[in-house]
Amino acid sequence: MENIDTLVEKYFENAVKDLQELIKINSENDKSTSSNEQPFGKGIALCLNQFLNTASKDGFINKNIDNYAGYAECGTGDLIGILAHLDVVPAGNHHKWTYPPYAAEIHNNKMYGRGTADDKGPLMAAYTALKILKENYTLNKRYRVIAGCDEETSMRCLKRYKETEEIPVFSFSPDASFPAVNGEKGQMHIALTRDFIHQGLEPIKLLGLTCGEIINIVPEEAYAYFSGNIAKLKRQLEEIAGDDLEIDYFEEKYLRVKAYGKAMHSMHAPDGVNAMYKLFKYLAHPDLDYGPWELMHWIRSMALIFDDKNISKNLGINYSDEFGELTINLGLLRYKSKDLQLNFDIRYPVTMKPSKFESKLHLITEKIMMLGQIKKHIPPLYVSEDNKYLKELLKAYKDVANEDAKPVTIGGRTYCTAMPNSVSFGAKYPQDEELAHQVDEYVDLDKFKKNIKIYLQALINLNNM
C-alpha cells in the first residue's frame, strides 16, 4: 500500500479541477429563481447536480433529494456521514474583489472565490479523501458525503434529509475548525420593531436607514437618506466626517450618508466593525437637528449602546464561560417611512441554559425601546471528549499536522447541531485568518492538499474501528 502522501499527490490535480468547477457556479440562495423543483434557486440546484455528476463518474452511489440536498455513498456496514454544504453567502459587490468571486482563479498558489473556504473547498477535500479510500482500501463501513443546499440560511436541507434518509451512526462536518469542534454556542435570532410618527414639519427629514444583507454577517456598509434642507446637513456632516463616512447627493433631491465598517462572520462580531454602529454615532452628533424628532432622540440613545466590543454588556446580557463569551450582531436594519426593524444574531455560551437566555429578551427590548420576538433559536451543542469517534479524528489531526489535538468550542453553527452524534472537523487551522464570508475568500492549495491528507487519515482510522 502506498503511503498517504503518495496517494494524495496522484489525486490532487483532479481535486483542484473538481473544486474549480463548483466554485464557478454561483450558488447563492436566489429567491427569484426558486420553485418547487429548485427550492433555493437555479444556481444551487446546478451546483448540487455538478457535484453529484462528479461523484457518479467516480463510481459513487448518488441520490438527489429534491434539490434540497444530495449524497455520494460507498461501502457496506455502519453508516459514517460527512456533512458539508454547497450554498454560499452573497459575494456582495464584485468590484471589491481582487479576482472575480465565481471565476476560481489561481494566483500565488491560492484559489480565489466564494465558497473556497466555506464550504466547497472543505467539502471537496473530504470527498477526495473518501474517493482515495474507496479506490485503495477495503471498506469496512459505509460512507456518505451529504451535501446540503441551505446551510447559510435555515438548514431546511438537513431537515428534509432527515425526513426520508438514514441517520449515520456518526458524522463529521468539514465546516469549522481543526483540531475538532465538540461544542457550538447557542444561536438566537431576535427581531425588533417600532413605528415612529412623521410630524411632517421638520426642515430636515430622515427618510430611510438600511444596513446588512444577511443576519450572520457584520454589515460593512450602512446608509441614511435625508430630504429637506440637505445642503445645511451636508455641510454639518462634512465637518465631523472621518474617512469612514461618505456624504453625497442622491437623485438630486436627497442626501445619502454612507458609513463604512469591516465585515465579519457574526460568530466573531467583536473582531468586525459594524457600519451601522458607526452611522448611529455620526447621526447622534449634538449639532445635527432632523426629524422625526422621536427617531432622532432614539438614535442618540442607541449610539451609547451600540458598540462592537461592549454591546452585550451595555444591554445587560453579557455572559461567558470556559468555552467563550456571548456575542451579538446587528445584522439587518430597515427604516422607511415610519417602520423600523432590527434583526440581531446572538451566540451564547455552551453552559448557558436556553431558558435563562430567553428570559433576558425583555432586557434587550427595554434597553432598545422596541417590541421584540425570538424568530429562531438553536440550543448549544456539546459532545464529550470521550466520544470514541472524536478521539480517532483528533488522532488523525495530530499524526498528520503534528500539532496538539484538543477539541474547541466555536460561536458558529454547523450541521452538527441538527444531526445526532456529530462534530465539526476542520478545515480552518488555529493560526489561520477567518476567510469565510469575506471579500477575496480563498483556499491555499498547499493547505487544501494537507486537508485531504488529514481527512484521509481520519477515514482510515474510522474504517479500522
pLDDT at 377: 86
Kindly give the confidence (pLDDT) of every residue in the chain, 465 residues in length, as a single tens digit, with 9 standing for 90 and above: 679 999 999 999 999 999 999 999 999 999 999 999 999 999 999 999 999 999 999 999 999 999 999 999 999 999 999 999 999 999 999 999 999 999 999 999 999 999 999 999 999 999 999 999 999 999 999 999 999 999 998 899 999 999 999 999 999 999 999 999 998 888 899 999 999 877 677 899 999 999 998 898 899 999 999 999 999 999 999 999 999 999 999 888 899 999 999 998 888 888 899 999 999 999 999 999 998 999 999 999 999 999 877 888 898 888 888 778 889 999 999 998 779 999 999 998 888 877 777 777 888 888 899 999 989 888 888 898 999 999 999 999 999 999 888 898 887 778 998 899 999 999 999 989 889 889 999 999 999 999 999 999 999 999 999
Query: From the candidates 28, 73, 119, 151, which is the catalytic residue?
Result: 151
Q: Which three cell numbers stand for residue 113?
A: 472565490
Helices (H), 284-427: 293-305, 311-315, 354-358, 361-368, 388-401
pLDDT at 1: 61
SS3 category, 151: coil
C-alpha R_g of the chain: 24
Residue 227, strand partner residues: 205
Rounded to 5 degrees, φ, ψ at 229 are -80, 70
Say if pTM beats, i.e. exceeds, 0.85.
no
Asked if 218 and 333 count as a contact pair (C-beta separation under 8 A), the reply is no
Helices (H), 112-189: 120-136, 156-164
CA distances from 103 to 22, 24, 206 (A): 10, 5, 40
Q: Which three cell numbers stand for residue 44?
A: 444551487
pLDDT at 436: 87
Query: From the candidates 87, 119, 150, 308, which is the catalytic residue?
Result: 87
Q: Which long-range contacts (CB under 8 A, 24 or more apart) does 132-138 make?
A: 132/7, 132/8, 132/11, 132/452, 132/456, 133/456, 133/459, 133/460, 133/463, 134/58, 134/59, 134/60, 134/74, 134/75, 135/59, 136/1, 136/2, 136/7, 137/1, 137/460, 137/463
3-state helix, strand, coil in the chain (%, to 5): 35, 30, 35
pLDDT at 199: 66
Instruction: Report the CATH number of the 187-378 domain.
Output: 3.30.70.360
Instruction: Centre a 10 Å sphere on the Cβ of residue 306 and count the other Cβ atoms it contains.
Output: 23
Q: Where are the domains of the chain?
A: 4-184+381-463, 187-378
pLDDT at 143: 98
pLDDT at 252: 81
pLDDT at 155: 92
Which class does domain 4-184+381-463 fall in? Answer: alpha beta
Helices (H), 208-328: 230-240, 275-283, 293-305, 311-315
Length of the chain in terms of residues written: 465
Sequence-ordered list of residues with C-beta below 8 angstroms from that of 83, at least 6 positions apart, any chain? 146, 148, 158, 171, 172, 173, 175, 414, 415, 416, 419, 422
d(CA 415, CA 418) in angstroms, rounded, equals: 5
SS3 category, 312: helix
Burial status of residue 36 (CB atoms within 10 A of its CB: 0-12, 13-18, 19 or more): exposed
Nearest to 382 by CA among 188, 187, 167, 181: 181
- Say whether the peptide bond before residue 418 is cis (omega within 30 degrees of 0): no
Q: Is 151 a catalytic residue?
A: yes
Residue type, 431: Q
**Residue 324 falls in which region: left (phi positive, over 0), alpha (psi -120 to 50) or beta:** left
